[in-house]
Amino acid sequence: MNVVLALIGVCGVSASGPLMAGANAPALAISFWRNAMAAGLLVPVAATVRRRELRALTYRDVRAIVFAGSMLACHFATWVTSLKMTSVASATALVCLQVGWIVFFEHLRGTPADRGVVIGLALAFGGVVVVSGVDLSLSSRALAGDLLALCGGAFAALYTMTGASVRRRVTTTTYTATCYAACAAVLLVFALATGQDLVGFDARTWAAIVGVMVASQLFGHSLFNHLLAVMSPTLVSLIILLEVPGAALLAGVFLGQTPGVGVYVGLGLIIAGLAVVVTRRPPSEDEAPVGPAD
């Protein structure tokens, strides 16, 4: 069942990049509305069915949720901006390097990576490089977009790691509702501070924003937040690497950014890397059901 949920989540987040790149709205506006709309749907549900849990949240839980929401906001602010500056394939590939950031951050915390994980990462990252094609020779704007996407991956790693910790104690409904609300609040501050318009878009743009909210926010991020209760953040982030070829293919169909043969080669390398990590990575406490799956 978890495999099915992971595949649905990958399909959801794969649609995110092409939809946001094609939306005629500022990056922060798209980021704000996708989170605000999702919070608007989930907060009433949490307030109804998880009222007791919401009241029982400790200061530690609230602080962690606010931090996770802030990191998610920074992730969207940098990554969605990068989608406006470079190709969907490059932006998605580089942001998905969050798994490398997770391994790096865990190493700083005293948890060195297993050799099998390193081999799997090398294969998967090779696939990411093949898909992205590297924009260094294209333009300074594309390079800046790539750097923003790389920063977006680091913020996503912190968001994922924090979420894994919180999900040990908090259900998916409570976590996603409060985290998306915190994220929307931070993005609203960012948008107002930078003077980006939040309204006045055409119907097609609003449809794209709603599509991102449903596909990526509800069926993407929310499902991965659920899986963090039964999988390690490293494994979840490796699964998200499948978003790279998925987004590239969708961008080719809907935005005319036709993927070349390298996309398919990269897909093979990414899948091979995932297989190595899954088969070679020793079981850990992080992958045991440690919290309410909700």
User: Tens-of-pLDDT digits for all 294 residues of the chain?
Assistant: 788 888 888 888 888 888 888 889 999 999 999 999 999 999 999 999 999 999 999 999 999 999 999 999 999 999 999 988 887 877 887 887 787 888 889 888 888 878 888 888 888 888 877 766 655 555 678 778 888 998 999 999 999 999 989 988 999 999 999 999 999 999 999 999 999 999 999 999 999 999 999 988 888 888 888 888 778 777 777 787 777 777 777 777 667 766 567 667 876 787 788 777 766 655 544 444 344 445
pLDDT at 98: 82
Contact 91, 17 (CB under 8 A): yes
User: Residue 57: which H helix or E strand, with range?
Assistant: none
Whole-prediction pTM value? 0.82
- Sole residue written with tokens 């003077």: 195
> How many angstroms separate the CA atoms of 132 and 37, rounded?
31
Give kind and range of the element (H or E) at residue 23: none
- By CB neighbour count within 10 A (0-12 exposed, 13-18 middle, 19+ buried), where does 289 fall? exposed
